[in-house]
């Protein structure tokens, strides 16, 4: 995908920090549908409440809304209420990494 430099600059984004990921599944519907293209800012990998992040465990990627818990763990929340939140303590799972924040969603209308 191509983005204009002035568009990136106006949003405080830098091309070197950006990656595209194609969503699969329905866990983040209605916000993100399967086959939507997500623009991920890898410089934003320190989770903030309510934002959507890409998280990697081995070769599996998850896209979830994150909420920090008082004990330092993270609650990974699907926008689709069919899926229960998952609790995650990064200290207990060194193989899991927060890749970056989803900053743009591109949808095909066909």
Say how far apart CA 64 and CA 75 lie, in whole Å: 9
Q: For residue 27, give the CATH number of its domain.
A: 2.10.109.10
Whole-number Å distance between alpha carbons of 69 and 88: 10
Considering only residues 60 and 17, tell me which one the structure prediction assigns the higher pLDDT: 17
- Domain boundaries, position 49: 5-106
Convert the pLDDT of each residue in 32-86 to its tens digit: 999 999 999 999 999 999 999 999 988 889 999 999 999 888 999 999 999 999 9
As for how many domains the chain has, the answer is 1
What is the value of pTM for the model shown? Answer: 0.91
27 CB contacts (<8 Å, ≥6 apart)?
Answer: 63, 64, 78, 79, 80, 82, 83
Q: Tens digits of per-residue pLDDT, 80-107?
A: 999 999 998 888 888 889 999 999 999 9
Q: What is the pLDDT of residue 48?
A: 92
Higher pLDDT, 3 or 82: 82
């Amino acid at each position: 995908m191509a983005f204009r430099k002035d568009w990136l600059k106006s949003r405080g984004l830098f091309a070197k920090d950006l990656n595209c990921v194609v969503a699969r599944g329905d866990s983040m519907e209605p916000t993100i549908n399967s086959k939507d293209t997500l623009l991920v800012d890898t410089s934003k990998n320190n989770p903030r409440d309510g934002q959507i992040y890409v998280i990697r465990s081995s070769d599996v990627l998850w896209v979830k809304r994150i909420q920090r818990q008082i004990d330092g763990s993270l609650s990974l929340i699907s926008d689709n209420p069919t899926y229960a939140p998952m609790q995650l303590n990064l200290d207990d799972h060194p193989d899991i990494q927060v890749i970056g924040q989803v900053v743009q969603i591109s949808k095909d209308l066909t």
